[in-house]
Amino acid sequence: MNVNIGHAIAFRPQLGAASGAARVAGAAPEDGGKAEPLRDVNGRMVGTPESRYGMSMRTLQLLKQYDVRNMSGKDLDALAEVLAENGEMDGDVAMSIRGDIEGNSWKGSDERNALEIFAKRRDDTIASVKAGEASLRFANYSIKGYERTQQALEKLAAIHDALQSEDDVRAAANGSAAQARDLMHLERWMRSAEQADAKGEPLAVGKETAEAISRTMLRAGVELPPADDLQHGDWARQALQAYRGWTARHPNDKLDIDLKPAEEEDKKVFKEKPPAPAGKAQGTQLSLQPPSSAAKLAREMQDKLQTEARYGIGMPMLQLIKSTDISGLSIDQLKQYSQLLRDNGVLSLDDVESLLPLTQRAMADPMNYYKRDLNWLTSMQQQGRTPQYSTPGGMADLSDVAGRMRNDQQGQAVLERLQNLHQTLQGDDKEQTAAANGLQQSGDLAAFDNWARVESKGARNADSAELEFRGKQDVEGIFRVLQRLGVELTPLEGDSSPSQRLEQAWKDYQRWRDSHPGERPSIALPPKRGVDVYA
């Protein structure tokens, strides 16, 4: 089943066991022999990983190994080219990924988070529009392209997460992305070469393809001469004959990528758990509140509902707002804060995007940034001058001064509303202030809740696969929550990936839940003062 990770970013309907499979299923033989297995509309056996994910086994092996949140630009470039060639990624999306890698010089071996890279590209472009430096009409194509690319990469990361529990798919070996690209060039050239040879036409091959063929055949034990002279077709003829000779000697084999050794996949991956010290709980425990009477619990619930109704905001976000003074936040903290409020319905997407000129450019003094900018714009207008901004090529006129002023006003209003609510809540005793690191705890809890939701649901096909985490910060936050709960985590051997660590952590968390029914993580609150705690 072809998968188009492109414009719509919607995986085509999985027709396997339903309508598609019924139309192509083999009938049971009249003599009572074994029936042909059910196959989907693309001829893949229903129930297999290839049918459920709509991808070839080679692609699944690659995606089990490679995580777009933690891979080199070199490997991502190869992976995108292979997926596009197989029709498993939209060609424009693949070109966007490969063009960015080449144009922004991250085609090295350092591991990068492609989700964060393209999210930043999108936000930077929107920030330039909000700042009046670019027209939305002209920037919209880039914005939509970055969003499509983000969605495609998110789906690849989600499939990577889902494949960690697929025992029928072996992970590809390190370096297999480059091998897959070499195989792609070899297979494509061999098809055209066979056709040309059958017609008596001369054989031609390019330098890049010739080098890919040489590397692939060398892995198969066949050494070809250096691809120095490709003009007269002699090298191409030798390559075709070498390939034919290899297939004749290995009729039941095919050239393919390397996989992780079976013994590595089958061995015991995790170390034995160290015995827990007697009488000592593992991890940093959540603070326990004194037992409450039924009447007190009912009073607290009523107060909570009344407070949420009065402000129109859920209690966890009210506690966070009460504890968060915007004037004391770093730019990274402000961006995290605004995104948390957006995810919980406190701010709109437009409100959050109005802050991008501030957060993307790391401007100082967030409460006064827009005020200063508005004063500058007003002064320039009064002088009859066009405001300018700095570019790599020198100073340039703003293309939309009025749009920048509107965004300044909106951004300032968003910050002032939040700060005013923060001040108002200081005098409201119905909700507690979150702990000193409440912003970090709120981010950790959001990452944990998403991870637990995705793990609980499970995924057995491409449509249902969801992103478990976005990056290193989410992973660290999830583990901080687990440690605060006191979950005993199984240590991993060797160099394990974040997805493998989280796969095991989920099993550890499930065991913890069995012995702690009804408990769930929450934002830590400072202890209430006074004897009313014991009422």
The per-residue DSSP string of 127-149 comes to HHHHTTSS-HHHHHHHHHHHHHH
Task: Quote the distance between the C-alpha of residue 521 and its chain's center.
Answer: 24
* pLDDT value of residue 23: 32
Answer whether 149's CB lies under 8 Å from 114's CB. Answer: no
Cα distance between residue 301 and residue 315, in whole Å:
11
For residue 357, count CB atoms less than 10 angstroms from its CB and return exposed for 0-12, middle for 13-18, buried for 19 or more.
buried
Q: Phi first, then psi: what are they for 61, rounded to 5°?
A: -65, -40
Residue 226's identity, in one-letter code, is P
- What confidence score (pLDDT) does residue 274 get? 41
Note the pLDDT of residue 7. Answer: 35
Pick out the chain residues at pLDDT < 70.
1-34, 263-293, 430-436, 522-535
Tokens, residue 316: 């966890």
Counting beta carbons within 10 angstroms of the beta carbon of residue 92, is it exposed (0 to 12), middle (13 to 18) or buried (19 or more)? middle
> 310 and 338 in contact (C-beta within 8 Å)?
no
- CA nearest neighbour of 487 among 518, 459, 471, 510: 510
Find the helix packing angle between 438-457 and 331-343, rounded to 10°. Answer: 50
User: Chain-centre distance of CA 70, in angstroms?
Assistant: 10
Tell me the DSSP string of 252-316. T------B--HHHHHS--BPPPPPPPTT--SSPPPPPPPP--HHHHHHHHHHHHHHHHHHTS-HH
| Cα–Cα distance, 148 to 8 (Å, whole number) | 8
Q: Which residue shows structure tokens 């040489």?
A: 214
- pLDDT, position 33: 61
Q: Output phi, psi for 476, to 5 deg.
A: -65, -40
pLDDT recorded at residue 288 = 38
- What predicted TM-score, i.e. pTM, was given to this entire model? 0.85
Distance between CA 212 and CA 207 in Å, rounded?
9
A 10 A CB-CB count for 41 gives: 17
Closest CA to 315 of 423, 432, 427, 415: 432
* Model pLDDT, residue 31: 57
Between CA 416 and CA 29 the distance in angstroms is 76
Q: In this structure, what token pair is assigned to residue 60?
A: 């699944």
pLDDT at 36: 81
What integer pLDDT is reported at residue 434 of this predicted model? Answer: 63
Question: Which amino acid, residue 169?
Answer: V
Q: Dihedral through CA 427, CA 432, CA 438, CA 439, nearest 10? A: -50
pLDDT the model gives residue 264: 62
> Given 3-state DSSP classes, what are the helix, strand and coil percentages for the chain, each rounded to the nearest 5?
55, 5, 40
What confidence score (pLDDT) does residue 21 get?
Answer: 37
Residue 57 and residue 50 in contact, taking contact as beta carbons nearer than 8 Å:
yes
Q: What pLDDT is stored for residue 517 in this prediction?
A: 85
Q: For residue 1, what pLDDT is reported?
A: 38
Residue 304: per-residue pLDDT: 78
CA distance 249 to 238: 16
* Amino acid at position 533, single letter: V
Q: What is the pLDDT of residue 287?
A: 41
